[in-house]
Chain A
Amino acid sequence: MRLYQFGVIAGLVLLLEGLCLTGVIDKITMQPPHRILIDFFRLMTAGTLYPEIGKSLANVLLAFALAYVVGLVAGTALHGYRTLRETLDPLFATYYAIPVFAFYPLFIVIFGLGDGPQVLIGFLLGVVAVIVTTLNGLDRVPRVLRKTARIARLGPLETALKVTLPFCSPYLITAAKLALAYAFIGVIGSEFIMARSGMGYEISYAFLNFDNATMYPLILLILLLSIVLNGMLTHWEKVLLARRGLQ
């Protein structure tokens, strides 16, 4: 299976390389993959873009942390209130159909063009996924655990921290995965649309200047970062699920 996956990726890269070298894809559109790799190492060793990369990653981290903490707390609190949860259900079901990026111009007008609107977009994209996943996990806590907590005379906060949340830890990792993916999409995406600095901004700047030697390595960096982080969390999630005999 690994071999199959490796084969597909290697095949695609080789196909691109071939198409680029034979000129089917011209140089202005895309450079051959080996050239992108060389540019990537050049860019990483030069380090001129490190401040931009650092700034974007800091914003991604902030959006992720906010979405995760707020979502987790809101989800746990909401689990106790049946009516409120039912009322919010249509919102949760429709939320991801709404183009959140459409609010970006409004946020720029309200908060000014800076880090605020970008982090807010990343937060808004992620927070509902965290709430929904947390609720989903809490629904699966066996009643016997809640009863045990009651027998041990644990308060609501202690029950959540010591019994229910640890039980649904695989779900909490799923939530982290979603929040991280959305933080990336939100922050990089809004930098890309309109910003004064950051990785997304650098990509769009390089695009406007036909600077493929900067644009492709940066795109590669973002893709690698999000795939590697996502892969690590997925692995952790699988380990926890396996330990619970769920998969």
Chain B
Amino acid sequence: MRGDERRSFRNAAVLVVGLLVLWQLMYWVVGDVAMRSPWQTIRYTVGFVQTDLFWTHFDSTLRAFGTALAIAVILGLLIGFALGLHRLSAEAMEPMLVALYSIPKVTLYPIILLAFGLGMSAKVAFGAIHGIIPVALFTLNAVRSTKPILVKTGRVLKLSPPMMVRWILFPSAVPETFTGLRVGFSLTLIGTVLGEMFAAQFGLGYLLMNAIGLYNVDVIMSVTFLLVVFAAGVNAILLAVDRRLHFRA
């Protein structure tokens, strides 16, 4: 395991350097009109994150994202467990969830805006619908693929349904469910930012779209950079936990 970890760390380091080199090369090709170099971007970002402007928008995005994630996780787990426990429902609903997963949910945003009005709740709802489906799908499959012998053991011990969930189904579903949470985290973030980009008065997505209008390349580069670093960083941590859970199982 240790050697494995060292190797994956080295791979990640090589990759980051490679991407930075690629970025620098692109900058030389495109030029100052539309891009900034990695060094310029990082320098600007350091100054930018100390401004009030950034914090107002960052705070708005973070609150919307946090609420959306909480809703997505709770509803996703509930749907996943409910369907996973009932064989017919699981088999009938899974293809429908998969189909929902693949539709361009962006097109549903106007409906959400009409229903919730422009503001925080629309962003939260849009982020949440991105996250619910993967959490539900992974949970459903995790519950359904519990080893039959474990379920039989539970039956032999005459466990009641809640005890069954608590002591058998839930522990055995943890690794798969965590993968669902990881994917749900990413998609909720994407949904929230996407919602802000289309219609919002606050948030990092709004800041990005506003910067196009003002032709502020520094802000575009800096916000994009921050979003990518945040998403990739959190995902890397979750991925490490995920691997460990799967390894243990």
Q: A94-B236, A105-B224 are in contact. Are A192 and B11 (CB under 8 A)?
A: no
Q: Contact flags (1/0) for B186-210 with A, using CB distance below 8 Å?
A: 1001100110011000000100110
- Cβ contact of B189, chosen from A99, A106, A231, cutoff 8 A: A99
A87/B11 contact (C-beta < 8 A), A97-B234, A105-B224 known: yes
A-B contacts, 18 listed (Cβ < 8 Å): A25-B115, A30-B111, A93-B235, A93-B239, A94-B239, A96-B186, A97-B232, A102-B208, A106-B34, A108-B212, A110-B34, A193-B194, A215-B110, A218-B107, A222-B103, A226-B104, A227-B99, A227-B102
Does B73 count as interface, using CB distance less than 8 angstroms? no
Q: Does B55 contact A (CB under 8 A)?
A: no
- Decide yes or no: A230 and B15 within 8 Å by CB, A94-B239, A105-B208, A105-B224 being known contacts: no
Q: Are B215 and A86 in contact (CB under 8 A)?
A: no
- Known A-B contacts A97-B235, A109-B215, A227-B99; the reply to A87 vs B228 at CB < 8 A is no
Query: What distance in Å separates the Cβ of B65 from its nearest Cβ neighbour in chain A?
Result: 11
Residues of A within 8 A of B88 (CB): 1, 4
| Distance from A198 Cβ to chain B, minimum over Cβ atoms (Å) | 12
Once bound together, how far apart are the Cα atoms of A110 and B36, in whole Å? Answer: 11
Let me know if A41 is at the binding interface, CB within 8 A: no
Q: Is A165 an interface residue (CB 8 A)?
A: no
CA distance A234 to B102 in the complex (A): 12
Is the CB of A170 closer than 8 A to any CB of chain B?
A: no
Are B35 and A106 within 8 A (Cβ)? yes
Q: Which residues of B contact A96 (CB under 8 A)?
A: 183, 186
Contact, CB under 8 Å: B190 / A8: no
The residue among A30, A98, A230 with the most chain B CB atoms within 10 A of its own CB is: A98
Residues in B neighbouring A230, C-beta threshold 8 A: 99, 102-103
B114 at the interface (CB under 8 A from A): yes
- Name the 10 nearest CB pairs between A and B, nearest first: A97-B235, A97-B186, A4-B92, A207-B110, A189-B106, A181-B102, A110-B34, A185-B104, A109-B34, A29-B114
- Is A90 on the interface with B (CB-CB < 8 A)? yes
Contact A1 B109 (CB under 8 A): no
Interface residues of B (CB under 8 A from A): 7-8, 11-12, 14-15, 18-19, 30, 33-35, 88-89, 91-93, 95-96, 99, 102-111, 113-115, 183, 185-186, 189-190, 193-194, 197-198, 205, 208-209, 211-212, 215, 217, 220-221, 223-224, 227-228, 231-232, 234-236, 239
Instruction: Tell whether, in the assembled complex, residue B197 and residue A101 are in contact, meaning their CB atoms are under 8 Å apart.
Output: yes
Interface membership of chain A positions 197-224, coded 1 if the CB is closer than 8 angstroms to chain B and 0 otherwise: 0001001101100000001001100110
A53 to B8, CA, bound (A): 45
**In chain B, what residue has the closest Cβ to A215?**
B110
Interface residues on A, range: 35 or more
- Is A194's CB under 8 angstroms from B209's CB? yes
The answer to whether B15 and A90 have CB atoms under 8 Å apart is: yes
**Given A90-B11, A99-B227, A193-B197, 5 other A-B contacts at CB below 8 A?**
A90-B8, A101-B194, A105-B224, A110-B34, A227-B99
* Residue of B104, B115, B228, B231 with most partner-chain A CB within 10 A: B104
Counting CB contacts under 8 A, is A77 at the interface? no
Question: What's the Cα separation between A54 and B11 when bound, in Å?
Answer: 44
Tell me the smallest distance from the CB of A5 to a CB of chain B, in Å: 5
Chain A residues near B109: list those with CB within 8 A: 192
Whether, in the assembled complex, A89 has its beta carbon less than 8 Å from a beta carbon of chain B, the answer is yes
- Asked if B14 and A87 make an inter-chain contact with CB atoms under 8 angstroms apart, the answer reads yes
Contacts of B12 in A (CB 8 A): 90
Tell whether A28 is near chain B: CB-to-CB under 8 Å: yes
